[in-house]
Structure 1
Amino acid sequence: MKTSTDSPLVRHALNGPTMGTRYAAIFHAPEHLATAALAQALSDAVDRVDQQMSSWKPDSDLNRLNAAPVGAWVTLPPELMTVLAEGLRIGRASGGAFDMGVGGLVAAWGFGPGAGKAEPGRIAAASAATRPSTMQALQLDPASSRARKTEALCLDLSGIAKGFGVDEMARVMDGFGIPAWLVGIDGEMRARGTKPDGTPWAVAHERPDRHSREAMGVIELSDMAVATSGSYRHWAEVEGRIVSHTMDPARRAPLENDLASVSVLAPSCMAADAWATAFMVLGAAAAAPLAERHGLGTIFVRSDGSVQARI
């Protein structure tokens, strides 16, 4: 798809359902631009990610791997292999704070597929089980596009798959020759270039409040991605206490620290998504120097409302 600089640019917005939420793309192009093919390509891209990486779809490629016997090699599509490789990389770089192998804990606490409520028996079993590091228990064979588990392991990609979905949307926009755009899935966003007036794309930074949706600031993006992880949007009340959907791999329990949300800026949305989860687990004191070492922008919002930002 080619755009003409001779025609005035107008704002286009495309959106649709995916992964239990919605995707959106905003860009400026001539008014007469035929967007049907672009809209279909975006829909196909996010649907492909969902079909491959969903914990909720019994026939997803991720669940094929989860259901496979220990030691059996499973052929996987290249997109899923890319995400698994990046998940292992960030798992190592974060000292295990990002861990794709917490699927059993997620399900036991009622955040995965199923009845949608915590089950004490499953919680006790999942918390007490001796579990190897995912970095040790998952082996990848990129040359043959296959993976295998060396130990019993239930993978959950909720901390990285949406970010990859946004990156796939970015690939589509670039492939159609759109020079500047903003794409996103829920709170995961990525931008290329600037708006026609030369200003960066503006993304609302949401206040971490369980009872309302309002912005506490604006993040300006240009050739960058942002992802936010928080304990305020997906939570449950279990025996009178509020628990987060994010699992602490070291404690084998829902996250408990002073952070309400973490936003991470990175070149790819997949990396931003995974690092946001890792930093939520680590807490601001441990996460801040790690973010600086890896050249990542961060906004830490603590439960008391205080903000620590390095962008």
Structure 2
Amino acid sequence: MLANSRLRCHLVCFGMMLLLVESFGVRGSVAAEELVSLSGETMGTTYNVRLVPTADVVSETLQQSIDDRLEVVNLAMSTWDPESELSRFNRYEKTDWFPVSAATAEVVEQANTISEQSGGAFDVTVMPLVNLWHFGPEGQDRAKLPSESSIESARASIGYQLLHVRSEPPALRKDNPSLTVDLSAIAKGYGVDVIARLLDETGIENYLVEIGGEVRSCGVKPNGDRFIVGIEKPTPFVRAVQRKVPLQNSSMATSGDYRNFFEIDGKRYSHTIDPRTGRPVEHSPASVSVIAQSCMEADAVATTLMVLGPDAGYNWAEEHGYAAIFLIHPGERGAEVVSEIVERETSAFSQLVPTPENSSSAMTTWLISLGVFVAFMVLMSVGVIFSNRRIQGSCGGLAGLRDEHGQTMCQACTTPREDCEKALLEGMQSDSNSADVN
């Protein structure tokens, strides 16, 4: 019986170690399902979809459905296609209602809401200034800067207050016949939402959708882990990850000044135009990433925060509860000179995404605790196996307990000794018979 008890104790301890290691997340088995990847081109960039397929998903059919949905978005909102719905509205020189699709009306309504909230830092009517600074479809002559008079003239023809939208029936209207609209700062995010809805309709529960860096994830990967999205290090001509973000059932969009810019006489001019000044932003954020439920909203808010800057933008994001992280260029910070990229997170972002330092510290603490516990269990099992001693615990077990007169449990017991020994022998015999049967 004793040998059988020692073996049981050893197996329990060993099993406990396996259970702890497995629950910690070490997975040796290969998942039965694998991610399916679909990709293509849209909106002047690329899209990528990674998903865990269901039994009835046909990749070729799904790929065609994705392309068809994105083509509808392009035909509605592209400023590069002269026959798109938006291009035709921009050429429309009247101030009555212009019929548009429900999708275009939805995007413009969201844009106007953020414009109102941000005091015009986000403004989809900024297209004349985008073209003036050589970032639009009307030419790319970046050898010279626009004149002050041309900037003021362009500013006179913009303003989100001049753009109106209705949903029933969907239509746009402008107070100024020369008003034009550019949805490039929000349309990619909307495209991500469109594909996410398509996957939901198809019955796919686990996926990651990306269009030009704007992403949305739902569910988990085949091994049960969340999808990890990288925030790019904002360094021109270098591709590296600054921060890894576990993303689940939410969207993330990034706006930055480190890819699309030009330089004249050593000064950089960003493609992010401040509608309030008519000029490219000049403050220190290299990029801003925003997490939100809707990728359309995250896309627009990221641009808004780039325009507002690291201080006003941070305060605005905190006020409106947005999860955002600012990556700030090296340089002067008051009296201090910083040589590396500085990260500044809103409180909502910090709650969603643990910092690498805290995550590493927590992991180290957990590993140490696990190691101590496992070592203790192993030592106890070794003691049982090789010393033939029962485990009493640190307090000596029941034999160490005493009553109010200082007597041990055995001394205080009134049962005759021979009766105890007889009951013990009968119990041992019963245990031995039970072990033989097993």
Matched, 1:224 2:250: yes
Letter in 2 for 1:164: Y
**Equivalent residue number for residue 131 of structure 1:** 156
Q: Does the Cα contact within 8 Å between 2:124 and 2:160 map onto a contact in 1? A: no
Match for 1:306 among 342, 354, 368?
Answer: 342
Higher-strand-fraction structure: 1
Query: Structure 1 residue 255: deviation in Å?
Result: 1.1
**Shift in CA distance, 29/141, structure 1 to aligned 2, threshold 3 Å:** closer
**Equivalent residue number for residue 306 of structure 2:** 280
Query: Structure 1 residue 30: deviation in Å?
Result: 5.5
Q: Secondary structure of the equivalent of 1:91?
A: helix
Whole-angstrom distance in 1 between the partners of 2:258 and 2:144: 23
Q: Give TM-score scaled by structure 1 length.
A: 0.93
Q: Does the Cα contact within 8 Å between 1:109 and 1:123 map onto a contact in 2? A: no
**Shift in CA distance, 69/91, structure 1 to aligned 2, threshold 3 Å:** same
Q: Does the Cα contact within 8 Å between 1:257 and 1:283 map onto a contact in 2? A: yes
Letter in 2 for 1:138: L
Query: Structure 1 residue 238: deviation in Å?
Result: 3.6
1:48-100 Cα offsets, whole Å, 9 max, x none, are 11221111111111111111114132110111111000000011111111110
Q: Give TM-score scaled by structure 2 length.
A: 0.67
1:151-189 Cα offsets, whole Å, 9 max, x none, are 131211111010001110101110110011100102100
Higher-helix-fraction structure: 2
Alignment of 1:112-191 (within 5 A): 112-118=136-142, 124-129=148-153, 130-131=155-156, 134-151=159-176, 152-191=178-217
**Equivalent residue number for residue 18 of structure 1:** 42
Whole-angstrom distance in 2 between the partners of 1:275 and 1:235: 20
Q: Secondary structure of the equivalent of 1:29?
A: coil
Q: Does the Cα contact within 8 Å between 1:104 and 1:126 map onto a contact in 2? A: no
Q: Does the Cα contact within 8 Å between 1:98 and 1:274 map onto a contact in 2? A: yes
Letter in 2 for 1:81: A
Whole-angstrom distance in 2 between the partners of 1:204 and 1:54: 27
* More moved, 239-248 vs 178-187: 239-248
**Equivalent residue number for residue 20 of structure 2:** none
Structure 2, unaligned runs of 5 or more = 1-30, 331-340, 350-438
Aligned residues: 305
Matched, 1:75 2:120: no
Taking only the aligned residue pairs, the percentage that are identical comes to: 36
Matched, 1:48 2:72: yes
Q: Does the Cα contact within 8 Å between 2:133 and 2:145 map onto a contact in 1? A: no
Letter in 2 for 1:233: R
Whole-angstrom distance in 2 between the partners of 1:296 and 1:217: 18
Q: Does the Cα contact within 8 Å between 1:299 and 1:308 map onto a contact in 2? A: yes
Q: Secondary structure of the equivalent of 1:167?
A: helix
Match for 1:106 among 127, 130, 144?
Answer: 130
**Equivalent residue number for residue 400 of structure 2:** none
Letter in 1 for 2:156: R
Whole-angstrom distance in 2 between the partners of 1:17 and 1:226: 20
Whole-angstrom distance in 2 between the partners of 1:168 and 1:257: 33
Q: Does the Cα contact within 8 Å between 1:75 and 1:145 map onto a contact in 2? A: yes
Query: Structure 1 residue 294: deviation in Å?
Result: 2.4
Query: Structure 1 residue 197: deviation in Å?
Result: 2.6
Letter in 1 for 2:159: T
**Equivalent residue number for residue 90 of structure 1:** 114
Q: Secondary structure of the equivalent of 2:312?
A: helix
Query: Structure 1 residue 296: deviation in Å?
Result: 1.6
**Shift in CA distance, 124/45, structure 1 to aligned 2, threshold 3 Å:** farther
Which of these two proteins has the greater Rg computed from alpha carbons? 2
Letter in 2 for 1:44: D
Structure 1, unaligned runs of 5 or more = 1-6
